[in-house]
A and B are shown apart, each in its own frame.
Chain A
Amino acid sequence: MAATLTNPLRIGLRQERVIPPQCLIIFGASGDLTHRKLIPALFELFLQRRLPSEFAVLGCARRPWSDEVFRQTMAQRLQPIIAPNPQAWEFFSQGLFYEPVDLQQPGHLERLGQRLEQVDRLRATRGARTFYLSVSPAFYGSGARALAGAGLLADPQRSRLVIEKPFGTDYASAQQLNRVVKSSAQENQIFRIDHYLCKETVQNIMVLRFANSIFEPLWNRNHISSVQITAAETVGVEQRASYYEQSGALKDMVQNHLTQMLALTTMEPPGRFEPEPIRNEKAKVLQAARLANPEQPWTCCVRGQYGSGGTAERPLVSYRNEPGVNPNSTTETYVAVKLLIDNWRWQGVPFYLRTGKHMAKRLSEVALTFRDAPVHLFDAATGGVSSNNQFVIRIQPDEGATFRFEVKAPGSGMRSRPIAMDFSYLDSFGEPSDEGYVRLLADAMLGDPTLFTRSDEVEAAWRLYTPILEGLKQSPEKFPVHSYEAGTWGPAESDELLSRDGLLWRRP
């Protein structure tokens, strides 16, 4: 039986939350993200009947395109997606419009306002608007200010602003951007994207913890000895060198995605499953988190950069030899940090976060290791003492969870060995999960901010890593970039970060 066989009874049932009538305005509509992610996600929502008939997309960019050119451009670029559903595309594309707009030109915004009213009338979109800033991060603040200045964000119930990542480049710039954005719109209108939060298994962390009574009593310092959060990629920097050179692994992955996973793993149960109580708890735990040694951040942070590697058939070039990368670059492509959380639940439990490019395996996971059994009555089948229990939440690939515990090894002796009790999304559910942007766009248009980061969360996340970022500026020599062979699990120095605590990185 093929593992991908879809449950025929499942098809078409996912219509639980239909998006209310509205117009989605995409700034940067001529850019890659629009045809690679946004329009495909909207078309998928259309195919799932989760978009209402009263819906429109208004693409905006500087290029002097017409509605028809925008439709044709999207049709050409999305051909493989459209081909199986040409009639559906025909209906969907009737709701695509385009307006040439430069956000810095007041006259353009006035024209945009008039065009929006026209689209409202044409598509009966009830005056509800979601503005999506898919532009360079440098224009997030000025874009928000321009929209507010034109009165387009004045209605807090019917206008929203979606902002792509990265939100700031450090604590100070994130604060500054928050000030600008919050002077343009109310917090409940602002949707700051973190793509990791739209992954089914990231959301499942909350369900696992708060819908089951078996986990939560164990989910604390009394039972958990350490936690490892990993996001490993097998790809290198690819075509993102110019961005990556400025950003590096810490800003690109740790400050946002891994820190959000940390927040979901460690937050207290919210009083209600509603956006604000959830975001309150996430912000609280991030405010209680700190580097293991903020005074000497180099002792709890290891940076690495991939060197060459791979095989003779598939050689991998080093980071410094990638196109667009400075040959003397000290940008990290790998980073591991040790964090602690100063609250009642987690005091003393070390959290190890690591991410890297060109690593041995593509995976993201949260692994919670439980404390030793108080008394070792049995020897392990392999000799020595039995291993600790471990609960691993697999974010990707093979989404699911594994619980590892000891059982009696078959035979006449009383030796134990670990086995894995496994849950897999693929095996347990009758249809694949939505692509991330499908969920993110749907939630933004539904006005549900649960999966978007609030200003205080973003700032707390930046503040957490400020000692490292400051240290990198002031004493870069204390944060050397260790080379690691492409296709491995990172530099040896990273292993030392854990071995000092008597631990090992997981080799999943």
Chain B
Amino acid sequence: MVPQLTLQAPLKLPPSAVPSHLQQLWADSDDGYNGAATFTLVVWEPAWLEQHLARLGLLEEAVMGMQRPCLVDAARRAISTYGLPSSTAPLSHTLAQALVTQPGGESQSFDDLRGQAIESSISELQPHRMITLAPTIAAEQPIDALVAAYCPLPEDSHGGGSVCGDVLVLRGGAAAIAGELDLLPQLIPSHLPCWVLWEGALGEHLDIFERLTVPPQRLIVDTALGHTTPSMGILAQRIAAGQAVYDLNWYRLGAWRESLAMTFDAQDRRESLNHVSQVDIDLEGDQLCQGLLLGAWIASRLQWSLQGGHRHGDTSFYSFQRPDGVKVDMNLVSVPVGLPKAHAGSIMGLRLLCKPPNRRGLSVVLCGEASGCMRLEGGDISSRDLVEAIVPLVEGSLEVQETRVLAGGHDTTNPLLATAAHLADKMLAATVSSKAP
């Protein structure tokens, strides 16, 4: 999959002229075509990290708002250049925030193609309209409205039935963008589904977030991009309010969920799931969202009820009660790593200790492809049956995951995510409200 540019050079217009221009755009079409009857995609695409890397001369390519390998490479270079801890995840909010204060490059200009470079797999889905809100790092920058038509590439449309759509980019300082948000309801057809893709950290620019993401808009977020508390809080709150929410961080957990389920597919092991006594989850750094979601998924699937939790040092301790009344300990351990994966808080390893009655204990250890298993192989596991598996690293680009959501979406949240997010938020609240014993 490759990014493709719009059919024509984008036309710069005053924002107020955009609705009438878009209405006119297809009016001359011979067959009276008035846009694909598919969906609208609204993207909040701050790309703070990418902009700062470009400003500082660490990224030579144009800013596109896409998670490309060159962006991750540039981010790793920045970590080393500015002496940040090597455990900083390249695409983390922490790095973007750290670069804000780095001087230099004020006079450096860079191409900004956000919203104009469309991932081909997304354009293949023929969105009716794509609206990109592209805030600039220069907070005072006035608004630019850029309008263009796009069509899927001929090779992507397999030679038949392609229809085109249009794109709108609103680029400028965040305040200027906020000032133009009233335009959007006129541009989003009410009879088509609309997805809002929030590519920024959850919790930042809350005013814009609230105005953009009004139900029934379907929301795509990534809880790995921001800090744990606001990310988890907003995720849980929006799901509880009945909005359809997709968390890309949850999709990244897919290989872990599948690997753990696979371990207990064997008929003779399933019974052990009723006798789990301890769960240990290791994750990279202190962004806890993925770890909380994984722990909450396990607990909710096995019908455990949360009894309490506290945080001490790098570890969050939780206690649950199984349906048979027995206590289960769950520990989320933040482990600093030298070469973290692109997203903050990626799972490194998972261990389940089971004590089935009248049978030898069972220890299930799942380790990330890149992280090894040694830490979780410690302790009293030699007296148990040991099942170990390596969980493949299947991150996929952000765009690949977005395409999956857009290709066949729902107007409700996945019940597994809904249950897990609710419990994960409660777990987080338990550690915030209680002190270590």
Contact = CB atoms under 8 A, between A and B. Distances in A.
Given A1-B270, A52-B408, A428 B302 contact: no
Contact of B273 (A7, A18, A121, A127): A7
Given A20-B407, A157-B161, A124 B302 contact: no
Nearest to B271: A1
Nearest to A427: B267
A19 B303 CA distance: 30
Given A8-B273, A157-B157, A157-B160, A127 B260 contact: no
Contacts of A8: 273, 301-303
Contact of A156 (B160, B267, B409): B160
B415 A12 contact: yes
Contacts of A52: 408-410
A326 to B, nearest CB: 49
Contacts of B416: 12-13
Which of B260, B270, B273, B407 has the most A CB atoms < 10 Å from its CB?
B270
A126 B273 contact: no
Interface in B64-103: none
Interface string B267-278: 110110100000
A165 interface: no
Interface string A387-417: 0000000000000000000000000000000
A9 B267 contact: no
B407 A9 contact: no
A430 B415 contact: no
Nearest to B192: A124
A121 B37 contact: yes
A12 to B, nearest CB: 5
Contacts of A429: 265
Contacts of A312: none
Nearest to A156: B160
B397 interface: no
A20 to B, nearest CB: 5
A18 B251 CA distance: 14
Interface in B146-186: 157-161
Given A5-B270, A18-B407, A127 B415 contact: no
A490 B258 CA distance: 45
A426 interface: yes
Contact of A49 (B157, B407, B414): B414
Contact of A430 (B39, B192, B265, B407): B265
Contact of B301 (A5, A9, A121, A124): A9
Nearest to B36: A126
A11 B300 CA distance: 12
A426 B270 CA distance: 12
Nearest to B416: A12
A426 B265 CA distance: 9
Kindly state the interface size class of chain B when it binds its partner.
35 or more
A10 interface: yes
Describe A's contact surface by its main secondary structure. loop
B418 to A, nearest CB: 11
B408 A9 contact: no
A151 to B, nearest CB: 12
Given A3-B267, A7-B270, A10-B265, A124 B408 contact: no
Contacts, number: 97
A198 to B, nearest CB: 20
Interface string A1-41: 10101011111110100111100000000000000000000
B267 A155 contact: no
A225 interface: no
A430 B191 CA distance: 41
B432 interface: no
B39 A124 contact: yes
A218 to B, nearest CB: 27
B404 A18 contact: yes
Contacts of A53: 193, 409-412
B364 to A, nearest CB: 11
Contact of B161 (A11, A18, A124, A158): A158
Nearest to A11: B301
Contacts of A157: 157-158, 160-161
Interface string B239-281: 0000000000000000001101100111110110100000000
A50 B409 CA distance: 9
Nearest to B266: A428
A13 B301 CA distance: 12
B80 to A, nearest CB: 38
A54 interface: yes
B38 interface: yes
B298 interface: yes
Given A121-B37, A127-B37, A156-B161, A10 B408 contact: no
Which of A50, A54, A120 has the most B CB atoms < 10 Å from its CB?
A54
A155 B160 contact: yes
A73 B349 CA distance: 52
Contacts of A12: 414-416
A13 B412 CA distance: 16
B126 interface: yes
Nearest to A8: B301
A152 to B, nearest CB: 13
A298 B177 CA distance: 82
Interface string B126-142: 10000000000000000
B257 A124 contact: no
A92 B260 CA distance: 31
Nearest to B193: A124
B173 to A, nearest CB: 35
A328 to B, nearest CB: 52
Nearest to A10: B261
Interface string B383-417: 00000000000000000000010011111101110
Contacts of B264: 7, 9-10, 430
Contacts of A127: 37
A9 B157 contact: no
A1 B411 CA distance: 39
Contact of A9 (B191, B261, B412): B261
A426 B267 CA distance: 8
A430 B414 contact: no
B267 A5 contact: yes
A19 B193 contact: no
A157 B161 CA distance: 6
Contacts of B414: 12, 15, 49
B242 to A, nearest CB: 13
A54 B261 contact: no
Contacts of A427: 266-268
Interface in A81-122: 120-121
Contacts of A120: 37
Contacts of A430: 261, 264-265, 270
B261 A13 contact: yes
A51 to B, nearest CB: 8
B297 to A, nearest CB: 8
B408 A21 contact: yes
A423 to B, nearest CB: 11
A8 B269 CA distance: 12
Interface string A309-350: 000000000000000000000000000000000000000000
A53 B267 CA distance: 35
A7 B157 contact: no
A5 B271 CA distance: 9
B281 to A, nearest CB: 15
Given A12-B414, A50-B408, 9 more contacts: A7-B265, A10-B261, A13-B257, A13-B416, A21-B38, A49-B414, A126-B37, A126-B38, A427-B266
Interface of B: 36-39, 126, 157-161, 191-193, 257-258, 260-261, 264-268, 270-271, 273, 298, 301-303, 404, 407-412, 414-416
- Sort A-B residue pairs by CB-CB distance and give the 3 closest, nearest first: A18-B408, A155-B161, A430-B265
6 contacts: A9-B264, A9-B302, A18-B404, A124-B38, A156-B160, A157-B160
Interface of A: 1, 3, 5, 7-13, 15, 18-21, 49-50, 52-54, 120-121, 124, 126-127, 155-158, 426-430
